[in-house]
């Protein structure tokens, strides 16, 4: 250990790791309960009990039950947009296809499982579906902005950008939904079929 490191720094690192572990335990517990007994039937107390923490501990990490499902959405969106920017040299459709495949490939197994679990829960709950739609609009606006920037000289950019953004996001959502419904189905193959349709 370097001599410049204080005793407090390792403790802070440990504290942050414990917070992350507690937050992940709550999220895992919530996803399991939402999947087995339904989103609406699951309470904050149920989640806290399953994670073996107090109700107060739950509210230390989340403002409400619904936040458990969307807490990482902004980070995922920023990550996707960063990958999309790296594809700037390609045409908008090719950039979007590659960004979707790269973003999915960079997800670890835990994130992938959580995404599939969230998709299944969303499909069984109108409340979660409504919340997912609000998040979808944020993704749509960001993707649209990227495409507009690529089509600045195109007279039809105001029509092409929202259409292509919606189509690309639809491919991502459909590939994720089909993978959640049937783990044997290849996410990559669905994405490729979707973008072949877009190019036609």
pLDDT at 176 over 50: yes
Lookup: tokens for 181: 């419904």
Q: How far is CA 85 from CA 89, 96, 172, 198, 199, in A?
A: 9, 10, 17, 20, 20
CB 194 within 8 A of CB 174: yes
Question: What is the tens place of the pLDDT at every residue in 55-83?
Answer: 999 999 999 898 898 878 888 899 999 99
Query: CA 27 from chain center: how many Å?
Result: 14
pTM tops 0.85? no
Least confident range from 6-20, 74-88, 117-131, 166-180: namely 6-20
Q: What domains are there in the chain, each with its CATH number?
A: 8-64 (1.10.10.60), 72-199 (1.10.357.10)
Judged by DSSP in three states, 47 sits in: helix
Question: What is the tens place of the pLDDT at every residue in 98-133?
Answer: 999 998 898 888 888 888 888 888 888 888 888 889
CA gap 153, 156 in Å, rounded: 9
Lookup: tokens for 27: 């999220």
């Amino acid at each position: 250990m370097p001599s410049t490191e204080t005793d407090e720094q390792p403790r802070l690192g440990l504290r942050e790791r414990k917070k992350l572990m507690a937050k992940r335990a709550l999220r895992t517990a919530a996803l399991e309960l939402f999947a087995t007994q339904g989103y609406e039937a699951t309470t904050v107390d149920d989640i806290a009990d399953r994670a073996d923490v107090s109700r107060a501990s739950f509210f230390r990490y989340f403002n409400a039950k619904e936040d458990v499902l969307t807490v990482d959405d902004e980070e995922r969106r920023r990550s996707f947009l960063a990958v999309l920017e790296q594809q700037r040299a390609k045409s908008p459709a090719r950039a979007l296809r590659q960004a979707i495949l790269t973003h999915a490939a960079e997800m670890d197994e835990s994130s992938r499982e959580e995404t599939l679990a969230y998709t299944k829960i969303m499909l069984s709950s109108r409340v979660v579906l409504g919340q997912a739609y609000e998040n979808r609009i944020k993704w749509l606006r960001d993707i649209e902005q990227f495409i507009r920037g690529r089509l600045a000289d195109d007279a039809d950019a105001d029509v092409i950008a929202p259409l292509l953004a919606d189509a690309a996001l639809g491919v991502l959502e459909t590939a994720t939904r089909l993978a959640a419904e049937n783990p044997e189905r290849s996410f990559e193959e669905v994405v490729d079929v979707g973008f072949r349709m877009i190019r036609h």
